[in-house]
Amino acid sequence: MSNAMNRRKFLGAAGAATATGLLAGCAPAMSMAPKANLDATIFNFALNLEYLEAAFYLAAVGRLQELDAAGGNSSKVILPAGFTGRNGDGVKFDSADVRAYANEVATDELNHVKIIRKVLGAAAVSQPTLDLGPAFAAAGSAASGGAITGFNPFANDLFFLHGAFIFEDVGVSAYKGAARFLSDASAGGNLENAAGILAVEAYHAGMIRTLLYQQRNTDVTPTLKVADVVQAISNLRDSVDGASDVDQGVVEGGAANIVLADGNGIAYSRTPRQVGNIVFLAPGATKGGFYPEGLSGDFSAILAL
């Protein structure tokens, strides 16, 4: 994005975006700090969720200490017992390719924390307490109807991919939901750049869905295969985000379903409230799930959109 673009137009458009939609590829656009109160609120909402994704991926590759240098607080990240996620103590990946993918995304998310904090300056909220231990265990149990207990996304390659799957599709649907608020469709304008942000988020989601599809027939439990667990996670997201049905697993009608889209091949939308419902693991909640003490900041106006 050019530094010459209209800052007010971009930030006004970004104000319509939900946090996870701002989590990918936005660094070049954020060359100047927002002025409007709503802009700061939206960027801080984004920062809260960026802290979460950065912590998850950095811990997976044993780099959680880098969150501190970016302005986060790794001591406020709850992890499974005996796992530090620091100084090389990450997932014991069997696949060098999955490790490489995880490192790439971890760096992306860390850079997003840095750039959003830079944009907000002194207005940036501090990192809230993040639950990457019991919250995952609760999500795994809820998704599997109790068949999976003590789910730990850092236990192995496959569980890491399932953990990542919980987050990734949400970003695509959230940013798609913001498209209706964008007004500048000129060449190089807000709509074009927003499409680029959405594309990067979709790259991440597509990667995770592809890797899970490749192992769709692998047993997770004696009665559940990967495809079953992925579908269960999808069903869980749908059950907490509201009445709409905007989620799918990686297999539909026996065929590959890597691209999460409706019957017209169009990505689904989610509102900020729906995104909140998923990360709090409960409809209408303002804390819980991955944010046991809630978000840092007041986001009542955003969650009402």
Q: Where are the domains of the chain?
A: 7-303
Higher pLDDT, 215 or 42: 215
At 54-79, the pLDDT tens digits run 999 999 999 999 999 999 999 999 99
Residue 54 makes CB contacts below 8 A (sequence gap 6+) with 67, 70, 72, 106, 109, 110, 112, 113
For residue 252, the SS3 value is strand
Residue 193 · residue 1 · CB < 8 Å: yes
Angle between helices 226-241 and 157-178 (to 10 degrees): 40
At 280-303, the pLDDT tens digits run 999 999 999 999 999 999 988 778
Give the predicted TM-score (pTM) of the model.
0.82
- The upper half-sphere exposure of residue 108, i.e. CA atoms within 13 Å in the direction of its Cβ, equals 18
Residue 136 · residue 163 · CB < 8 Å: yes
Q: Which of 165, 271, 162, 264 is nearest to 221 (CA)?
A: 162
Numbers of helices and strands, H then E, in the chain: 10, 4
Amino acid letter, residue 22: L
DSSP string of 24-90, one letter each residue: SS-GGG-SS---SHHHHHHHHHHHHHHHHHHHHHHHHTT-TTHHHHTT--GGGEE--TT----TT-S
At 113-167, the pLDDT tens digits run 888 788 778 999 999 999 999 999 999 998 888 888 899 999 999 999 999 999 8
